[in-house]
Amino acid sequence: MDMNDITLPDAVENFVTATNAHDANALAAVFGDGATVRDDGRTWAGGTEIREWIQGHLIAPRIVLTPISFADDRLVASGDGDFPGGPLSFSFEFGITDGQVTDLTIAPV
């Protein structure tokens, strides 16, 4: 599928779609066993911690991502939601194995 004329790998597309739908279960399903997320100067590892991150950083603030570009496993997207200063642009560096996200690093752009 094409999001705003940007072709995304399935795992990245699923991440964006589930984030924008505010669907915690669909988001959790995007991540593989033993996945790691780095965001806001912290690291979340494994399913329980990643679910905590999903709830606190994506679901509660009702984040909506608008992809800007994608190259070399790096998505740049505008993020808006219930947080101060939005919308803001972020980079999402994805590690993908067997169609699932195994590593994700998020940073402001």
**pTM reported for the whole predicted model:** 0.93
Which residues span the domain enclosing 13?
Answer: 2-108
Residue 4's pLDDT is: 55
Coil, strand or helix: which one is 31? Answer: strand
pLDDT over 90 for what percent of the chain? Answer: 89
Cβ-based neighbour number of residue 107 at 10 Å: 12
| CB-based contacts of 66, cutoff 8 Å, min separation 6 | 4, 77, 78, 79, 80, 87
Segment 52-99, tens digit of pLDDT: 999 999 999 999 999 999 999 999 999 999 988 878 999 999 999 999
Tell me the CATH number at 14: 3.10.450.50
Q: Encoding tokens for residue 11?
A: 């795992």
Question: Domain tally for the chain?
Answer: 1
